[in-house]
Amino acid sequence: MPRSDPHLPGQLSVGHQRLVVVLAVLAVAAAAIVLPGPGDDARGQAFSSAYQPFACDQPGSSDPQQRRQEIQLDNGAGDFNAAGRMHPCLAGVRWHLQSGNVATSSTTPAIGQIRTAYGRKFPDTVFYAAAGSRTDLYQLAFSGLQFCTGDTTPIGACAPAGTTDIQLYADSTDAPGPKSAANYRLTIDPDQAITIGGSGVWTEVLATANSSFTVPVAELPTATHLACALVGGTARGGFLGIGGTCELSASDFAGDLAQWLGGGENYTLLGVNLDLYYLVTHRQNPSDPYTQIPVDGSGNPLNSIQLPNTTISVS
């Protein structure tokens, strides 16, 4: 056997080389296959130790799930009175979802489409897993959020395929302590359009008041800037109060007058800028979201989040 291979310059004895190879093989084998040794009914209206087994607790409290957050879901009509509730133990890390430009005054290009949306000021204090809480979050419920996958899909005003930039990341920097000792950013970077929710799936978020999205004024009920302004939105562009765009923040949208996006129509999205602390996808008006998963007509779980050609990275 040749001993002069440039990859094995000979600083190690043959015995050491053998040992290195054997140890390396064992290391990768062990790393690949480490075999370690080692929670009734969900009823989504109340906490269940079967479905929420982790003790999201606060020492001194008699409730072992003191810090678990109850979130009553929308009924599909904007009343937020579905029987179904979620019970997450929240990380307190802000997720950011952005696409397009919410401050645009142009009605093209679109970045996606939304069908039916409701909002409300979240009525309860939102608690994080260990410490901290806030009372200023809003709950948005929408169905059929689709980003553009081509210049005519899902709507004719879409940007050409591959040009819709979508940013989705979680950043621990401004999370309240205690939190990870080192800050991180978890980035989900799709090359092309993603689907969150999609047809037949409802998506709800707990978002900050200034989270917003922008739609064409022409798609509002009276198609006027006044309609936009009445709910606190910001109208841009157009002519003589007609046309242009309307940016609606979560706080604007939670007003009663904003319920007109709940009419079952499709609305063109020109920009989305959401800062959210929780997101859940579910079927319409669920009574037990922990067991009633969104399904298609054949009973298959729907693809509620689809990320084609996506890189997920931690930095």
Partner 1 sequence: MGTGPAGDATRHGTRWGPMAGALVTSLGTLAALASLTWTHAFGLDSTIIIQDGNATFSSSQITADDAAFGMAPVRLGDGTWKNVLRAGFATATLNGLCISKTETVAGLVKYTIKLTAGDGTAALESRANNAALDVTSLRGAGINLQGSTQIGQASTDLTTAPGAAPYLANPFAVPQTWDGGFYGPGSTGPNAYSATGNGGHTNGQGYTGIDATRGTLNAAYGHLWQAQVSGDITLPNLTIKVLPFTDSIGFNANGTQNTTPDGIDDRSCWTEARQGTYPK
By beta-carbon proximity to partner 1, the closer residue of 13 and 256 is: 13
Min. distance of Cβ 184 from partner 1 in angstroms? 4
The verdict on 110 binding partner 1 (CB under 8 A) reads no
How big is the chain, counted in residues? 315
Region 252-291 residues binding partner 1, contact defined as CB under 8 A: 276-282, 289-290
- Sort strands 94-100 and 234-236 into parallel, antiparallel or unpaired: unpaired
Among 176, 221, 226, 263, binds partner 1 (CB under 8 A): 176
By beta-carbon proximity to partner 1, the closer residue of 61 and 108 is: 61
Q: What are the φ/ψ torsions at residue 239 (nearest 5 degrees)?
A: -150, 125
Region 65-84 residues binding partner 1, contact defined as CB under 8 A: 67
Nearest to 66 by CA among 85, 99, 90: 90
H or E segment and range at residue 144: strand 138-147
Region 28-47 residues binding partner 1, contact defined as CB under 8 A: 28-40, 42
The verdict on 240 binding partner 1 (CB under 8 A) reads no
* Residue 206 Cα to chain centre, angstroms: 9
The verdict on 11 binding partner 1 (CB under 8 A) reads yes
By beta-carbon proximity to partner 1, the closer residue of 48 and 249 is: 48
The verdict on 215 binding partner 1 (CB under 8 A) reads no
By beta-carbon proximity to partner 1, the closer residue of 24 and 226 is: 24
Min. distance of Cβ 36 from partner 1 in angstroms? 3
Q: Are 79 and 107 in contact (CB under 8 A)?
A: no
By beta-carbon proximity to partner 1, the closer residue of 90 and 215 is: 90
Query: Residue 169: beta bridge partners?
Result: 96, 187
By beta-carbon proximity to partner 1, the closer residue of 154 and 197 is: 197
Site stretch for partner 1 (CB under 8 A), options 135-143, 182-190, 239-247, 267-275: 182-190
By beta-carbon proximity to partner 1, the closer residue of 99 and 268 is: 99
By beta-carbon proximity to partner 1, the closer residue of 203 and 268 is: 203
Min. distance of Cβ 217 from partner 1 in angstroms? 31
The verdict on 207 binding partner 1 (CB under 8 A) reads no
The verdict on 55 binding partner 1 (CB under 8 A) reads yes
Region 131-170 residues binding partner 1, contact defined as CB under 8 A: 131-132, 170
What's the rounded Cα separation, in Å, for the pair 310 and 187?
10
What's the rounded Cα separation, in Å, for the pair 56 and 309?
35
The verdict on 21 binding partner 1 (CB under 8 A) reads yes
- Sort strands 112-121 and 266-269 into parallel, antiparallel or unpaired: antiparallel
H or E segment and range at residue 28: helix 14-32
Nearest to 242 by CA among 222, 259, 260: 222
- Name the token pair of 168: 């989705």
The verdict on 193 binding partner 1 (CB under 8 A) reads no
What's the rounded Cα separation, in Å, for the pair 67 and 90?
9
- Name the token pair of 259: 């319920």
Among 105, 133, 153, 172, binds partner 1 (CB under 8 A): 172
How far are the Cα atoms of 51, 106, 215, 276 from residue 247, in angstroms, in the given order? 38, 12, 7, 18
* Residue 130 Cα to chain centre, angstroms: 22
